[in-house]
Structure 1
Amino acid sequence: MRTYVLIFSVVALSYLSYGQNTMTETHNDSLQSLIDQSSDLSYEYKIKESLDYAIKAVNYAHELNNNYYKGQAYYLMAYNYEVLVDFKNAETCYRKSLHFGEISKDTLLILRSNNGLGNVYSDGYKDLKTSLIFYDKAKELGKNLEDSYEYMTPVINLAWTYIDIEQFEEALPFIEEAHQLVVEHRELQGYCEVFYLKGKYAMYKGNFVEAGDFFEEAIDIAEKHDMILELSYLYEGRAELNEKRGNINEAYQDIKKYQEFTNKLYDKEKLKQIEIARVSFSVDEYKRELEIANKEKDYQASIAKNNKTITFISIAGLIFVLGTAFFFYMGYRSKKKLNNVLREKNTQLEVAKTEAEKLTTVKSQFISTVSHELRTPLYGVVGITSLLLEEKDMPEKHKKLLNSLKFSGDYLLDLINKVLKIGKIESNKEKLTKTPTDLAQLSQNLLHSFEYQAKNKNNKLVLDIQKEVPKIVSVDSLKLSEVLINLIGNSTKFTENGTIWLRIKIVSIDKDQIKIRYEVEDNGLGIPKDKQEFVFEKFSQLGREVNKSEGTGLGLSIVKNLLEMMDSQIHLDSKEGRGTRFYFDLDVEIVDEKQAEKLDLNGEDTAQTFKKILVAEDNKINQIVTKNLLDIIGYSCTIVENGFNALQMVKKEDFDLILMDLNMPYLDGMEATKRIREFNTQTPIIALTASELSEVKSECLEAGMNDIINKPLNKDDLKDIIAKNLM
């Protein structure tokens, strides 16, 4: 089910009838004003301000014991929480709205609250069966309303939900009823939704021509009115139709259109909401800090004022001996009052500290969620681009454009990964994992990955390894690779028409232990003397007016932190205009070459016979990319759209390996794996996820999975992990 279709948009509540004979007209006007302001602000995506007005309305309605306005205010709070993807609070407020709607007998509010709860269970909890219960309640209430426009929303939601759980025949009557309603109200968005659902139903019945007509008519309406949201899911639906009809070129064109409008939607809606939420959180935190500072300032001023009073009383006491006892008594009362104030201030500071810590947690969760959401569309971009680059007869000019597109996609993924990497390092979630590693091969592969950037800047890459360096050593190759990638990438960014060297030398050797020095040197711009002590700080960059290049300023900070984990330090030599040299030393263990020969370090022992692979993946673009990658590698595959279907397929047929996406509707990858392991413990299962591997790996292994791989997939990594688990 698609969130952007099922979220119930707020209709300006100022059009609702007033009511409560026990309230004065003034009170009604004040409450209605708060409700109207909250509604208007939520429509403008000013979520923080909208919530403030809704909370004020709730408090005021409770003071006046007005159940009608309690329900309206709680509804607005629930809607704002739904926009912020805080489904737990959204559910709580929707249920309160429903409660007060029933007390005040407000049928329209009861309908909307049930519809909102349906959205929470559908979009938030992925519990489609429960969402059907709430949508059905809303539909039944809508039958008794004079305004069939309100009735139309739950009818469309019911039709869409039955389509999503593939109960097409149950969906049909709701589709037909929704069609009548959108025609009656001439609702353009409703037209697009109904024709989309009709297309899905016709496709299920095998009426591909009829399905194509429905999609074509809906797309025509959406394009005439620049309906970006509708165009995204309509092109996705038609891509699925073209794939079923075997029209691969048309399916590819529709997928490109889908990606185009999805990106616009991210720009227009998602990213806008993210920025609004970010700014709101920052402003809120600033206000809290300012309030605490002002309270501390007032408190200090109060103490100073009272100290002057006490001093004056003491001096007066010396002059007026008879009043000494009285003045001491007054001083005692003043001190007692100040102690009470101090205790109150300390309590307020503790509350403010708790709120600040809570806000930090929310912001971290928010960044993690957004990073995960950004990875999903980037998988389509990087995956489809990689597939196109595999074609042999492609014109050179197209290949250059695709290389540029892939570079941009990889750059965005690198940015997301760096942000997550900083978070992991700071939270001490990074652990060292040493494995036997061929240093020469690893270094050559790393330099090879920079050939495209080097060619664009007319740079030469040189690998210089001292011949006495052992072939195989025990080291955390992933973290070493991250360090070298960041250092070589930094040199590439600041060097044009020059040379970049990667050197490996022996510093000292003692039996099985050896100290190796890595150097990354370039003859590029160099780093000014006054900037060198800051380059390893987070978000630190040379001024853009100097280097005219882009970046986050995270790479060298990650290098510093990773090397500290590996008991090493990064060093810098640089002169402005003459180039830069970074170097660090690592203590590693030499691996016996006879033992190393037994290890499949190069992944060459992967002789391939015909294998049958099951792919469980709900995203249509990911399905196409994964299928094509497997075709290129040389494997046959069967694709299913959710964990339930995967479970049924494994019961019916034998597969050599299963690729299981973690996040799927109806039955997710974790639960599907647990059920498969109840009767099949032999078939290898590899998890597919866009999440950080360390966050989900242990849970995947506990569920019965054999391995895990990050999306976006690339051909080589996919080939290696399949070969590893089929051995």
Structure 2
Amino acid sequence: MLNEHPLVLFAFLCICLFSLYLLIRNKHWSNLAHKNQQNLSAFQETKNQAISTISHEIRTPISAILGIQEKLLRNNHLDHSEKTILESAHASAESMLEVLNQLLDLSKIDAGKMKLKTEACNLGNLIKNINRTFSTLAQKNNTTVHCHICPEIAESLIADGTRLGQVLHNLISNAIKFSPNQKVQITTRTLANDHFAQIIYFEVSDNGKGIPQAHIARIFQPYEQYEHSDTEYSQSSTGLGLTIAKQLIAMMGGKLEIDSEEGLGTSVSFTLSFKRSIQQPKYTRSNPTYEKVAPTITHHESVMIVDDHAPSRLITEAQFKDMGYCVHSSACSQQALDKIRETSFDILVTDLTMPIINGDQLAIATHQHYGSKIKIFGITAHTDGAHRLLNPNNVFDFVLIKPASLKDWQLELSLEKTYSMTFKDPADSPHSMLKIIAGEILNYQEKSLDLLQQCLGKQKWVLSEMELKGMAHKLLGGAKLSNDSRLAKICEQFQVKIPQPHRPLFYDLCIALTRSNKLLKKITSAP
């Protein structure tokens, strides 16, 4: 039939050829898009790695500064003015560390890896602590800061205090910087209140220079800054704070709103809902205290501290001396390893990132020489450093993240003693009831950890939410019997909200269980 109608045949062939052309073209563009996506992913990974490396290099000296300030603040001979100045400097150094974390935060947001970590918080004291950090800046800028905390706000609410504090820190900082010789008002109001939750309104306002309407939308873009030519702070920020703040508030279920008029001032506000908690809240004091530390040990124990960064090494040395340890140190891993083989030590503390022989290699060599007779602690500026504890071949007792405070060290060093005293049988019987209980706790925790690691491999849960909460409840009971406060706190958070695998709370539970299981094995295997 087509042979009898050549025009129809010609049209049919044209349609076939055009369809073939479209298929080839679409495949070409699909391949090109796929290649571009791969290039973009590779670029993103390279950028994230670069940011992580830079943050590590900067975090290390800041950690040393914080450690020095912490030690000086424990000096009872400081007069009031000296202590006030030092406290302000300490708060400023902590703020520097927070600003450094902004780069990491933006990188996580871009990669979809930013997760909230909720816990019981005292929001009133959280705001007071943040407000304190700006006393020096406010005086320098001749800015009066008024802070009104609604008395109806509950003492313990479930929130990510760190992230909420980060948002408020940024908003208050901006308000003070751009309001010289003016006033800044921090306001909170309870909009709804019942036995289960509260809805709270937050506002940071000023009567400073204000922002033109044309610039308001732009300031939420990364690296955007609204510059006042007559303000010394116009070039001092990263331009990331408001971008991150907007994203964080959205993740918490709110919306960051800004109202500003040039020459009259600016108001930034948001509203969030918080569940009530019966747990002891974080930020229970509005003012930190720096008490003189009593020695942690009652007998002469020796520690080898290895860190190629001199200020960090000196701070760790001072912390262990304050706790009563006999301290040896080295900047070189090889020299430290030689001393470890020649002299008996009770504890090794090693930085993980060092030249020639890194911290992991030094820990393995030390473990091969001493076996379980020595405690090995790692310390690092990498925020995921503790993840190595989940490695089956791990030899570290624990890994602390810089800056590690004296209380951090005291908690870790006393944990084994806590377990030993909890399950110590006065009669030293090998079949004591306490040792049997320890064995039962260990058995359940090992099964739970195995399940969690299976979920980590599959990147999804293999149990229902009810079953997971039941598991967390049983783990909480074991943690309380063991007097392991860290594990108990994580289990309580796990019961409130089950996280997805790969989220921070998930890793926290795996790491705490790994630490606990190691200590319980020592108890159950002891003769």
TM tier, smaller: 0.5 to 0.7
**Aligned-residue CA RMSD in angstroms?**
4.7
Partner AA of 1:719 in structure 2: L
Residue 274 of structure 2 corresponds to residue 588 of structure 1: yes
Output aligned runs, 1:143-542, within 5 Å: 335=18, 338=21, 342=25, 345-346=28-29, 347=31, 350-376=34-60, 413-542=97-226
Give the distance between the partners of 2:87 and 2:193, measured in 1 at CA: 47
Letter in 2 for 1:342: R
Q: What residue identity is the alignment partner of 2:113?
A: K
Query: Residues 684 and 725 of structure 1 are in contact (CA less than 8 Å); yes or no, is this contact kept in structure 2?
Result: no
Paired letter, 1:687: G
| Residue 687 (1) aligns with residue 378 (2) | yes
Q: Pick from 294, 310, 335 the counterpart of residue 620 of structure 1.
A: 310
Q: Deviations over 1:252-298 (max 9, x none)?
A: xxxxxxxxxxxxxxxxxxxxxxxxxxxxxxxxxxxxxxxxxxxxxxx
Displacement of 1:506 in angstroms is 2.1
User: Could you tell me whether the CA contact under 8 Å between 1:606 and 1:723 is conserved in 2?
Assistant: no
Distance, in Å, in 1 between the alignment partners of 2:8 and 2:200 is 81
Q: For residue 388 of structure 2, what is the aligned residue in structure 1? A: 699
Report the Cα distance in structure 2 between the residues aligned to 1:504 and 1:682, rounded to whole angstroms: 54
Is 1:684–1:726's contact at 8 Å kept on the other side of the alignment? no
Quick one: structure 1 residues 682 and 360, their matched pair in 2 at CA, closer, same or farther if it must change by over 3 Å?
same
Distance 1:604 1:455, change over 3 A: closer
Residue identity (%): 23
CA 1:579–1:437 in 2, change beyond 3 Å: closer, same or farther?
Answer: same
Kindly indicate whether the alpha-carbon contact (under 8 Å) linking 1:560 and 1:569 is maintained by their aligned counterparts in 2: yes
Letter in 1 for 2:257: H
Paired letter, 1:624: L
Structure 2 alignment gaps of length 5 or more? 415-527
- The answer on whether the counterparts of 1:647 and 1:675 sit within 8 Å (CA) in structure 2 is no
Match of 1:146 in 2: none
- Once residues 509 and 367 of structure 1 are traced to their aligned partners in structure 2, the CA distance between those partners, rounded to angstroms, is 42
- The CA distance in 1 between the partners of 2:283 and 2:89, in whole Å, is 37
State the TM-score, normalizing by the size of structure 2: 0.60
| CA shift for structure 1 position 553 | 1.6
Residue 484 of structure 1: CA displacement? 1.6
User: Could you give the per-residue CA deviations for residues 195-231 of structure 1, whole angstroms, max 9, x where no partner exists?
Assistant: xxxxxxxxxxxxxxxxxxxxxxxxxxxxxxxxxxxxx
Q: Specify the alignment match of 2:329 in structure 1.
A: 639
TM-fit CA distance, 1:505: 2.9
Match of 1:553 among 239, 261, 266: 239
Higher relative contact order (CA 8 A, sep 6+): 2
- After TM superposition, give the deviation of residue 558 of structure 1 in Å: 1.0
Q: How far, CA to CA, are the matches of 2:111 and 2:282 in structure 1?
A: 37
Q: Distance in 2 between matches of 1:418 and 1:671?
A: 32
My pick for the range that moved more, 340-349 or 489-498, is 340-349
Corresponding position of 2:294: 608
Preserved contact between residue 687 and residue 700 of structure 1 (Cα < 8 Å):
no
- 1:572 Cα deviation from its structure 2 partner: 2.5
Counterpart in 1 of 2:411? 724
2:203–2:267: 8 Å Cα contact kept in structure 1? yes
Structure 1 pair 337–411 and aligned structure 2 pair: CA distance change class (3 A): same
Deviation at 1:387, TM superposition (A): 7.8
The Cα offsets for residues 565-619 of structure 1, whole Å up to 9 and x where unpaired, read as 2222223233332332322233223333xx6399997789996225455422123
Larger Rg: 1
Cα 1:665–1:600 change in 2 (3 A) is farther
Following superposition, the deviation at residue 497 of structure 1 comes to 1.9
CA contact (8 A) 2:157 2:281 kept: no
The 1:697–1:577 alpha-carbon spacing in structure 2 relative to 1, beyond 3 Å, is: farther
Partner of 1:81: none
Q: Does 1:669 align with 2:356?
A: no
- Contact 2:208/2:264 (8 A) holds in 1: yes
Q: Which residue is 1:162 aligned to? A: none
SS at match of 2:229: helix
Partner of 2:508: none
Q: Per-residue displacement from partner, 1:427-461 (whole Å, max 9, x unpaired)?
A: 23233322333333322222222222122112233
Cα distance change, pair 634–654 in 1 and its aligned pair in 2 (3 A): closer
Which one has a larger percent helix, Structure 1 or Structure 2? 1
Structure 1's 614 and 463: CA in aligned 2 closer, same or farther, altered over 3 A? farther
- 1:699 aligned partner, one-letter code: R
Deviations 1:687-709 (A, max 9, x none): 32222x1x333224543555554
State the match for 2:430 in structure 1. none
